[in-house]
Chain A
Amino acid sequence: MSHAQYFLEATYLIASCLFVLGLKGLSHPDTARRGMIMAAAGMAAAVIGTLFHPDIHNYLYIAIGLILGSSIGIPMAMVPMTAMPQRTALSHAFGALAASMVGIAEYVIHGSKLGPVKVGALGLEVMLGSLTVTGSLIAAAKLQELMRGTPIMFKGQQIFNLALFIVMVGSFVAWIVNPAAQMFFYTMVGCAFVFGIMLVIPIGAADMPVVMSLLNSYAGLSSAATGFVLGNNVLIIAGTLDGFSGFILSILMCRAMNRSITNVLFGGFGAAVTQETAVTGSMREVGLDDVAVQLAYANQVVFVPGYGMATAQAQHACRELGNILEERGISVKYAIHPVAGRMPGHMNVLLAEANVPYSSLYEMEQINPEMQSTDVAVVIGANDVVNPDARDNPKSLIAGMPIIEVDKAKSVVVLKRGKGKGFSGLENPLFFKPVTGMLYGDAKTSLTNLVQAVQKV
């Protein structure tokens, strides 16, 4: 090994350690930023080390790529926090695209000279990478509402998908046996691109947290496979860390919805009409002033945000209301359901943006025991995560999904745009309970008006 290669390997070792330490830093908000700086330093070290790679003769294309990438990447980091889910999905697409292009390039360059293990790893890399690219793009389009967020189903979809999958895996195996056969390779790549689309279109926008985590996992595993192709350990380590993080997140998200991964992927949630309890009674509409009085004389108020808060951009107004209540000596808490919003931790980030300290953010398990002693629970644009049917009606589509039990609070106020059903199309019996009052209108306007009304009380 030359000196340059020792230097290279040393930077890769440092990078691997810094990545692990960086992720370890994320276990607490206080150490998280330092951790990220370490991980970024690790990345910088690995990149600088690679620039000294003995095989590199021409820096032109590298420079073009680095400059072009930064000039797209930096503006992409400046998007508003409400656009976080689609930005992350888009970012998954780019990461996977890089991995799959490295794979295709490796095959173009070395062709059938690659040994079977490398061929196998390369196939996995390109397959996972390609399906993540199109899958993430569809997810981003759904989140950005460029296409409708409801599941897209058609007749014979399952059979089509199965056939596609068989052709994809079949050409993969055929190609491993005969690596010189380019046709099999490109058939596999083509099938993977189509399969990525087919994988995400039947999934509703409300299930996006799971899909995002899963795509995150695929992008990571694709990078890890690149590591096997190139015989490079830092790629294996970083890719595996990413792959497992996505995997763990998808399991957590599924658990928070009491559904299996297969059910999320192939269930076509919300498209099927299932049994619902006939809800009787009527929704009780409440006035702004009534709510203001309730809030002003409460001891404890819990806000339960959902995706509606993100679409209405109501996080700042929510914080304002919280501030005013706190100034009156009222205990204010924010209850966050694990799948509220469109990606894991979505609500936490929005509230943090609005300057809500993280010590006021409570997880579902922490806040549920306190619900009985809560005077007013304010539901802001959340629906399924507070649907008592999940707990009470075993026939419900969301039966068994853990919920934030707002209906146990002494009083519930639901901020809702209109009388329509929630995203999943399920009726929510919470809205019909005597304890619940409905405050219709745009969440942001309602909250701003409540701030003024509370000040007058």
Chain B
Amino acid sequence: MEHLLFHPVGFIVALAMMEGTKELSFNPAVLIASLYVFALAAFLGYQVISRVPPLLHTPLMSATNAISGISLIGSIVIAGSHYDEHQMLASILGCAAVTSAMINVTGGFLITDRMLKMFRKKEAPKTNKPEEKK
């Protein structure tokens, strides 16, 4: 079965087939639900993002970058939880992860907002200029 791991599609199948013996295994129903969420988010993302005009590609990149700082929530749980062993290492890794995710979130949203503030339409008195007629 292990040879399936080298196959791009077989990868998930092989993992799922090996599943079920360990303490922290996925409940099959939860795993399937998560795969649905992933697939639907991918389609939705494709639809929504293809509609973003090239004009806004830089803000799009910094916005999605800020959103991917969502790993912040995983980091927070690790930084704040109590573990029986490796407590110190986990807390330090968690704290560093919270820091870098937070850099992404605050920095990303602030600069996106700063950029979007600059995009403006033509001011009203200029609307009757010749180029508007074309």
Instruction: Map CB proximity to B onto A79-109 as digits: 1 under 8 Å, 0 otherwise.
Output: 1010010011001101101110110111011
Contacts of A227 in B (CB 8 A): 34, 38
CB distance from A72 to the nearest CB of B (A): 5
CB distance from B64 to the nearest CB of A (A): 4
| Residues of B in contact, count (CB < 8 Å) | 103
Do A95 and B106 touch across chains, with their CB atoms under 8 A apart?
no
CB distance from A25 to the nearest CB of B (A): 9
In the complex, whether A454 has a CB less than 8 A from a CB of chain B is no
In the complex, whether A244 has a CB less than 8 A from a CB of chain B is yes
Do B37 and A26 touch across chains, with their CB atoms under 8 A apart?
no
Given contacts A29-B119, A62-B79, contact A344 B61 (CB under 8 A): yes
CB < 8 Å neighbour of B20 from A59, A115, A228: A115
In the complex, whether A1 has a CB less than 8 A from a CB of chain B is no
CB distance from A78 to the nearest CB of B (A): 8
Do A248 and B46 touch across chains, with their CB atoms under 8 A apart?
yes
Do A216 and B61 touch across chains, with their CB atoms under 8 A apart?
yes
In the complex, whether A116 has a CB less than 8 A from a CB of chain B is yes
Do B106 and A237 touch across chains, with their CB atoms under 8 A apart?
no
Do A56 and B80 touch across chains, with their CB atoms under 8 A apart?
yes
Do A98 and B72 touch across chains, with their CB atoms under 8 A apart?
yes
**CB within 8 Å of A: which B48-97 residues:** 48-83, 86, 89-97
Do B122 and A359 touch across chains, with their CB atoms under 8 A apart?
yes
Contacts of B121 in A (CB 8 A): 29-30, 357-359
What is the total of A-B residue contacts with beta carbons within 8 Å?
Answer: 418
A46 vs B55: C-alpha distance when bound (angstroms): 30
In the complex, whether A69 has a CB less than 8 A from a CB of chain B is yes
Nearest CB to that of B130 among chain A residues?
Answer: A331
Nearest CB to that of B92 among chain A residues?
Answer: A61
Query: Interface residues of B: mostly helix, strand, loop or mixed?
Result: helix
**Most B Cβ at <10 Å: residue of A24, A49, A101, A222:** A101
A230 vs B79: C-alpha distance when bound (angstroms): 14
**CB within 8 Å of B: which A418-453 residues:** none
In the complex, whether A142 has a CB less than 8 A from a CB of chain B is no
A40 vs B67: C-alpha distance when bound (angstroms): 8
Given contacts A43-B67, A234-B70, A236-B41, contact A361 B55 (CB under 8 A): yes
Contacts of A108 in B (CB 8 A): 86, 89-90, 93
Q: Which B residues are closer than 8 A to A by beta carbons?
A: 2, 5-6, 11-12, 15-16, 18-26, 30-31, 34, 37-38, 41-42, 44-46, 48-83, 86, 89-123, 126, 129-131, 134
Q: Can you name 29 A-B residue pairings with CB atoms under 8 Å?
A: A26-B63, A27-B48, A33-B113, A46-B70, A53-B77, A69-B98, A69-B99, A73-B104, A74-B107, A88-B61, A94-B100, A95-B100, A102-B97, A113-B22, A113-B23, A115-B25, A177-B5, A213-B61, A242-B67, A244-B42, A338-B54, A344-B57, A345-B56, A345-B57, A345-B59, A348-B119, A349-B118, A358-B119, A358-B120
Q: Which A residues are closer than 8 A to B by beta carbons?
A: 15, 19-20, 22-24, 26-30, 32-33, 36-37, 39-40, 43, 46-47, 49-51, 53, 55-59, 61-62, 64-66, 68-70, 72-74, 76-79, 81, 84, 87-88, 91-92, 94-95, 97-99, 101-102, 104-106, 108-110, 112-120, 169, 173, 176-177, 212-213, 216, 219-220, 222-224, 226-228, 230-246, 248-249, 252, 326, 329, 331-333, 336, 338, 343-346, 348-349, 352-353, 355, 357-361, 363
